[in-house]
Amino acid sequence: MNEIEGWKALAAVQAVGCIVSGMTVGLGHGTTARYAVLELAARLRAGSLTDIRAVPCSYAVERLARQERIPLTTLEDTPTLDLTIDGADVLTPTLQAIKGGGGALLREKIVAQATLREILVVDATKLAPVLHGKVPLEVLPFGWRTQIEYCASLGGRAVRREKDDKAVLTDQGNYLLDVDFGPLDDAPALAAALQERAGILAHGLFLDLVHEAFVAGADGVRTYPPTPLP
C-alpha cells in the first residue's frame, strides 16, 4: 500500500468509528469508500458492531458487501439512513464537494439526500480552497450531445466518458459527461443551471449535503468542520 492509499484507509477507519450498532448506513462508491466497507465488515465479524443494515451506492459495492457478509437493505424498505460514508473528487474546508469520478453519481446523490449524516472520507490531495476541475454529469443517452452544447453555453467543456471507444454506462444505463468549468466562483448558480436542464439526471456538485469529513494526510486525520477546543 502506497502512502496515499494508506491515508485513504486511515480516513475510512476513522469514519467507520462514527457507526454504532443498530444503524442503517449508506455504503459509498470508490477507492476510499471501499476501505470503509472493509472496515465495517471487520467490525461486524469481530462483534464490535451488530444489527447493521446497509444500502450500497453501486452494483460493485453491493457485490463487495455481499462478499463481506454485510447485511443489506434498500431505500424502498428503509427510506431514511442514519449515516453514509462516501468519497469525493474535490472537497473544500466548508464541506462543498465534487463527486462522481467513480461513475455512481446519481445513486450517490440519492443516497446522500436520504441520509441524516453524510460523511466524506478523502486523502489530503483532494482538499482544495475552492471547487475546481471537471464536474461529472449523469445524462440520459437520448439527446446527450445537446448537453455538451448546453454546458458550453455555461462556460464548460464537456467530454463523454468512454472506455475502448465506447460510452461508459452507469448502473442505471446512463452516460457520463466530464465537464471542465475551471475554478467555480459561483457553484450554487452552476448547480441550479445544471439541475433545471432536462436530460441531466444528476450533477457532481454536492453542495450543502455533507455534514462532516475526515481528511487524512502526512500529519494524520483532520476532521471538518474542526472539533472545537475544550
One domain, residues 181 and 119: no
One domain, residues 193 and 124: no
One domain, residues 32 and 120: yes
Supply the DSSP string of 160-222, one letter for each residue: E-EETTEE-B-TTS-EEEEEE--S-TTHHHHHHHHHTSTTEEEESEE-S---EEEEEETTEEE
Range of the domain at 124: 3-129+208-218
Q: pLDDT, tens digit, for every residue of 171-225?
A: 999 999 999 999 999 999 999 999 999 999 999 999 999 999 999 999 999 999 9
- Specify the residue for cell string 469520478: 101
One domain, residues 121 and 175: no
What does the DSSP 8-state code read for residue 72? B
Angle (nearest 5°) at CA 59 between 26 and 109? 45
100 CB-side CA count, 13 A: 30
One domain, residues 143 and 117: no
Helix (H) or strand (E) holding 81: none
Which value, in Å, is the radius of gyration of the alpha carbons in the chain? Answer: 17
CA-closest candidate to residue 204, choices 130, 127, 108: 108
CA-closest candidate to residue 41, choices 60, 54, 28: 54
* Mean predicted confidence (pLDDT) in 101-123: 97
Greatest extent of the chain over all pairs of C-alpha atoms, in Å? 56
Cα gap 164→115, rounded to integer Å: 36
> What CATH number corresponds to the domain at position 140?
3.30.70.260
- Which of the residues are catalytic? 108
**Residue 230 confidence class, pLDDT cut points 50, 70, 90:** low
One domain, residues 112 and 78: yes
One domain, residues 30 and 101: yes
Residue 118 in any domain: the answer is: yes
One domain, residues 138 and 125: no
Q: pLDDT, tens digit, for every residue of 68-85?
A: 999 999 999 999 999 999
Cα gap 208→225, rounded to integer Å: 13
Residue 229 in any domain: the answer is: no
* Mean predicted confidence (pLDDT) in 24-28: 98
Residue 197 in any domain: the answer is: yes
Name the domain count of the chain: 2
> What CATH number corresponds to the domain at position 31?
3.40.50.1360
Residue 223 in any domain: the answer is: no
C-alpha cell at position 63: 457485490
C-alpha cell at position 53: 443494515
